[in-house]
Amino acid sequence: MMSTQPLYEGKAKRLYLTDDAQALRMEFKDEATAFNAEKKADFANKGKLNKAITLLMYQMLHEKNVETHLIEDIDEINLLVKKVDILMVEVIVRNVAAGGFSKRLGVAEGTPFKKPIVEFSYKSDALGDPLINDDYARELGLATPQECQILKDKALIINEVMIDFFLKCGLKLVDFKIEFGKLADGTIVLADEISPDTCRLWDIETGKKMDKDRFRQDLGDVMEGYAEVLERISKQA
């Protein structure tokens, strides 16, 4: 079960084969990167916190009929997941201006949108995950127009479910990035992780940032933010 050679290693996780050809072990690392790995650091317990948060978020989403690649919990830093073909399109949903949106377009951080914005980027570290649209995805062979529509529809449902859930935890869901994978039968399911690495979460009362922006912007107490997110969602779950 505990193979030692990763099948794939990303910036925040490793994937390993298991005895079951249809299942992989997903290990959460303590390493953090930002700005396409220009900035790097190790945070003790990040793997544990992000694994625990992803597990609770996936369980919560399952209850709301959102299918994910989760099979079951393994241990502190590992989840057992269904083997999927990851679509090389990252799907970003924004409810409030921040990060890359604010930088690119000069819109003040914190400006709310009337409706959520769904954005695609090409999952390519070599190219720095460039912004793309449905036509780019079609021509690059990343996803068909029908698949792009499925990604948008699913992302907006996931956004609504997560906005409600985080609100109950006293957190504002500013934006997030998700990835999808295809099961052997072609079904598209949510994959990868949902954590403070991949979501912007602000305290509803104080606006305090509780996510990876604490690292990106050198705000300090990075893991304290993640731990607080875990504590709050554990109480809601």
Residue whose tokens read 């690059």 = 140
Length of the chain: 237
Among 53, 56, 92, 132, binds ligand TMP (CB under 6 A): 92
Binding of residue 129 to ligand TMP (CB under 6 A): yes
Binding of residue 82 to ligand TMP (CB under 6 A): no
Binding of residue 166 to ligand TMP (CB under 6 A): no
Dihedral sign (CA 124, 128, 134, 136)? negative
State how beta strands 85-86 and 78-82 pair: unpaired
- CB contact at 8 A, 95 and 232: no
The site for ligand TMP, by CB under 6 A, has a size of 13
Q: Minimum distance from CB of 18 to ligand TMP (Å)?
A: 26
Residue whose tokens read 């609770």 = 56
**CB under 8 Å to 235, separation ≥6 — which residues?**
169
Tell me the per-residue interface mask from 170 to 209 with ligand TMP, x by CB under 6 A, - otherwise.
-----xxx-------------------xxxx---------
Binding of residue 116 to ligand TMP (CB under 6 A): no
Q: Which residues bind ligand TMP (CB under 6 A)?
A: 92, 98-101, 129, 175-177, 197-200
